[in-house]
Amino acid sequence: MSAAGPKAAAPIKTPDFFLVTVTEGQSLRSLAATYLGDSGKWWQIAALNNVSRAVPGDTLVIARKDLHPGGLVPEGYRTVPVLAYLKLAGEKSGRLVVPRSAFERQMKFLRDNGYHPVSIDRLMDYLEMKSGLPPKAVVITFDNGWRSVYDIAYPILKKYGFPATVFIYTDFIGAPKALTWKQLREMAGHGISVQSQTLSLPDLTRLPPKAGLQDHIRHLDRELGQSKALIRKNIGAPCRYLAYPFGKTNDLVIAIAKKFGYRAGFTLNRGSNPFFVDNFKVRRSMIYGHYDLTQFAKNLKVFEPLELR
Amino acid sequence: MKRLLPLTVAVCLACLAAGCSSTWTRLKATIASPAQHYRDLALAKEKEDRLHEAILLWKAVRRLEAGDKTAEKAIRKLKKTARERARRHFAKGVNAYQQGDFARARLHFLTTLRYRPDHRGALDYLKNRLHRKEQVSYRIRKGDSLSTIAYRTYKDAELAPVIAYFNDLDPGRPIFPGKVLILPTLPAEYLRPPGAIEQLIIEAREKFSRGDLDGALALIGQIEPGSPHYKEARCLADKIYFRQAAELMKHRQFWEALERLKRVRPGFKGRDKAMARARENLKCQAMDDRLKLARTRLEEGAYLEARTVVEEILASEPGNQAAKSLMDAINYAIANQLLAEGKDQEAIAVLETIDPAYEDTAVLINDAQLRLNAAAETHYRNGVKYFLNEELELAIEQWQAALRLNPNLDKARRDIANARRLLEKLEALETGAYR
């Protein structure tokens, strides 16, 4: 605010907020990084002060905590879409194979339309009401661990600076068309989170014929426990999220996932996620190879209107 | 400010023409103090029902203008409003939840959280209670085992190892009351469908757990000895009989309780002790019943009958204090009856069997004795009169009567002896023995 004079006054710090006079070269992102420890929280400053950018001389109130945990506003609540991709290919497409060009267009669409891809950890913090998310937040995930994620998706994601998550089934890693641990480690160092989709991608809900419940539990124990341990060992980072093979889960699978300390489980039930979604039934929308941008955009619902007064 | 007015108008018009709200916000700020700017912004947020943003902006106003009391007042008012609205919506949410209207409950809990983001109750409903639970917690109670818990939870005791797995327990080791277990919800398709007999046992167990003991027994009774699961059924029957016995004991129906306990198989934990207790109680109860009978007879005035009952009790249990006290009461009543009939001597005999400290026994004995002494004296004097009239035999009768009433009246004894001697002399004179 120019009334504060051309020279920046020292910021005022209170338990609830900072009062900061913007100086030359500062932006909402840099202010968020300085005062909130996270440039991604720039939108909190923008929303509270009713501004879209920081102008030198302006005095801005920076709330020290999210004023809308859970994305609750009088008009409704925020939802977060989680996109699921399986395979990508140079040109050819199939129901579960997204061509490079389509993927590139989709990522560009996200950037051009103000979507903010966020990491899976940030999504979970949001679901647990620990922190907020930027407007139009979206999560990008890949299933199984196909090599095309490294060859096609990874360079595009890097180009746009988008974080993503790869759910791998560890028996597949190192197979001819699969990712290698080396590639996964490389991607993990550049904002791609590596998480579990079990050991061998079985239908976790199906009790094998002639197998007793206890045999089945032993099987699930191995699938969920060993894959988690392998990822931790090979990536050097904790594995805390589980994508259910084929998106299928049930109470027993969830109970075992909880026993192993998984923080959340991801289905393939289409739809966006409000903060109060069951953490072990997070919805994901599979993006098919034949989708055009209109069909793609239908999976990007970020707000649920509801009168909350 | 007057000089600034044309500029303000111009800026407003420019801004409206541009249709840019953030520009308008900024331009508006250029002509107002920061505090005024935030005051306006706070009021706008309040109008939009964004109370927490409004509160924060009012705090900024307060910080910028320390003497501004309107800011303090507004903060207090907004906080109160947020609290009240949160409370109201939470109550509505709980009500809707209890009525099974989960969509409406969710709406109110979300609204509660919007007004009070730290509202744990609303968050708990939204994140936990409105979702299906894949596991529940259970605190181990005395007498539980993994098998019994598995049976209660899944209708299948063989699933005890599943509970052990989820709780990192060794299925072969005992569990201790108080520990909280996680019990996963197992999908129905994973559970073994029970057979007809198992179904009977399951239903019997359910009835048993609900306290319908007769219903449970009726179901168990349908399972023939030798059929599969009979052993299990018999174990349940033992538990049912034992519980029935306990209920009967509570109502002091010891005989019936003992009968039920006899149906529990030997070796059942607590059976022998319970039987001994029932027998002991039966004995006590018999004694109590007889004492009660004696008391009733006493109240009815059937003293002798009452005394007979108590005498029997004391014969078998000489130390029974209640019987002793009752015997005193009976004798006291009998003595009073005798006194009323003028039978002082008999009354005294009865009173002397009573504890002297009982009621006014000592006084009664004394009064009766005085009356007896007076009557003895009357007889004595009558004897003297007869003696003086030389009616010696009549005199002796009177003095004997006096002695019966007062054996300590020595003068009567002496006078009887004297009179008898005189009678003998007179007889001798008459027969010529005196010469």
- Which chain A residues touch B154 with a CB distance below 8 Å? none
Classified by CATH at the fold level, domain A76-305 comes out as: TIM Barrel (3.20.20)
Residues 6+ apart with CB under 8 A from B97: B105, B125, B129, B130
Contact at CB, A214 and B161, closer than 8 angstroms: yes
Tell whether B253 lies on the interface with A, counting CB pairs under 8 A.
no
- Measured in angstroms, the CA of A290 and the nearest CA of chain B are apart by 35
Contact yes or no for A46/A33 (Cβ under 8 A):
no
Segments making up each domain of chain A, as ranges: 2-67, 76-305
Bridge partners for A303 per DSSP: A78
Task: Give me the long-range contacts of B295-304 (CB less than 8 A, separation at least 24).
Answer: B295/B326, B298/B326, B298/B329, B298/B330, B298/B333, B301/B333, B303/B330, B303/B333, B303/B334, B303/B337, B304/B334
Which residues 274-293 on chain A approach chain B with CB closer than 8 angstroms? Answer: 276, 278-281
Separation of alpha carbons A279 and A269, rounded Å: 13
Tell whether A10 lies on the interface with B, counting CB pairs under 8 A.
no
- Measured in angstroms, the CA of A244 and the nearest CA of chain B are apart by 16
Contact at CB, B127 and A74, closer than 8 angstroms: no
- For residues A226-240, give the mean pLDDT: 97
Bridge partners for A98 per DSSP: A88
Tally of CB atoms within 10 A around A78:
22
Separation of alpha carbons A242 and B366, rounded Å: 102
- Which chain A residues touch B134 with a CB distance below 8 Å? 250-252, 254-255, 258, 280
Lowest mean per-residue pLDDT among A105-119, A239-253, B52-66: B52-66
Q: Which candidate from A69, A213, A255 shows the least CB-CB separation from B159? A: A213
Kindly tell me the burial class for residue A184, based on how many C-beta atoms sit within 10 Å of its own C-beta (0-12, 13-18, 19 or more): buried
Selection from A61, A52, A73 nearest residue B48 by Cα? A73
Separation of alpha carbons A218 and B326, rounded Å: 75
Separation of alpha carbons B164 and B171, rounded Å: 6
Alpha helices for B116-229 (secondary structure H): 120-124, 146-154, 160-166, 196-210, 213-220
Under the banding of pLDDT at 50, 70 and 90, the label for residue A57 is confident
Q: What is the three-class DSSP state of B84?
A: helix
Contact yes or no for B361/B355 (Cβ under 8 A):
yes
Give residue A6's pLDDT. 44
Contact yes or no for B261/B278 (Cβ under 8 A):
yes
Q: Which candidate from B49, B53, B107 shows the least CB-CB separation from A306? A: B107
Which residues 176-235 on chain A approach chain B with CB closer than 8 angstroms? Answer: 205, 207, 213-214, 216-217, 221
* DSSP codes joined into one string, A116-159: EE--HHHHHHHHTTSS---TTEEEEEEEETBTHIIIIIHHHHHH
| C-alpha separations of B29 from A2, A25, B14 in Å | 8, 21, 15
Q: Write down the mean pLDDT value for chain A.
A: 92
pLDDT in tens, chain B (435 residues): 344 444 444 434 343 433 444 444 554 455 557 888 889 999 999 999 999 999 999 999 998 888 778 999 999 999 999 999 999 999 999 999 888 888 999 999 999 999 999 999 999 999 888 887 777 889 998 888 888 888 888 878 778 888 998 888 887 788 888 888 988 888 877 776 666 777 788 888 888 888 899 999 988 888 877 777 788 888 899 999 999 999 999 888 898 999 999 999 999 999 999 999 999 888 888 888 889 999 999 999 999 899 999 998 888 888 888 899 999 999 999 999 999 998 888 999 999 989 888 888 889 999 999 999 999 999 999 999 999 998 999 999 999 999 998 888 999 999 999 999 999 988 888 887 655
> What is the token pair recorded at A69?
């945990």
Which residues 44-63 on chain B approach chain A with CB closer than 8 angstroms? Answer: 44, 48-50, 52-53, 56-57, 59-60, 63
- Measured in angstroms, the CA of B267 and the nearest CA of chain A are apart by 34
Contact at CB, B111 and A309, closer than 8 angstroms: yes
Contact yes or no for A50/A82 (Cβ under 8 A):
no
- Measured in angstroms, the CA of B171 and the nearest CA of chain A are apart by 13
Interface test with A, best of B104, B127, B163 (most A CBs within 10 A): B127
Tell whether B171 lies on the interface with A, counting CB pairs under 8 A.
no
DSSP H or E segment with residue B324:
helix B321-340
Tell whether A49 lies on the interface with B, counting CB pairs under 8 A.
yes
Under the banding of pLDDT at 50, 70 and 90, the label for residue A85 is very high
Which amino acid makes up residue B16?
L
Separation of alpha carbons A188 and A151, rounded Å: 15
Q: What is the three-class DSSP state of B322?
A: helix
Tell whether A255 lies on the interface with B, counting CB pairs under 8 A.
yes
Tally of CB atoms within 10 A around B368:
22
- Which chain B residues touch A254 with a CB distance below 8 Å? 134-135
Architecture per CATH, domain B32-131, reads as Alpha Horseshoe (1.25)
pLDDT: which is higher, B153 or A225: A225
Contact at CB, A306 and B110, closer than 8 angstroms: yes
**CATH number, domain B138-187, options 3.10.350, 3.40.1000, 3.30.530, 1.25.40:** 3.10.350
> What is the token pair recorded at A173?
């890693």
Tell whether B29 lies on the interface with A, counting CB pairs under 8 A.
yes
- Which chain B residues touch A308 with a CB distance below 8 Å? 107, 110-111, 114
Contact yes or no for A287/A94 (Cβ under 8 A):
no
Selection from A86, A184, A215, A71 nearest residue A136 by Cα? A71
Q: Is the dihedral of CA B423, B429, B432, B434 positive or negative?
A: positive
- Which chain A residues touch B167 with a CB distance below 8 Å? none
Contact at CB, B162 and A216, closer than 8 angstroms: no
Kindly tell me the burial class for residue A189, based on how many C-beta atoms sit within 10 Å of its own C-beta (0-12, 13-18, 19 or more): exposed
DSSP H or E segment with residue B105:
helix B102-115
Under the banding of pLDDT at 50, 70 and 90, the label for residue A8 is low
Kindly tell me the burial class for residue B211, based on how many C-beta atoms sit within 10 Å of its own C-beta (0-12, 13-18, 19 or more): exposed
Which amino acid makes up residue B177?
P
Separation of alpha carbons A163 and A141, rounded Å: 9
DSSP H or E segment with residue A17:
strand A17-21
DSSP H or E segment with residue A62:
strand A59-63
B31 to chain A: closest CA residue: A3
Q: What is the three-class DSSP state of A84?
A: strand
DSSP H or E segment with residue A109:
helix A100-112
Is the CATH number of domain B371-431 3.30.70.940? no
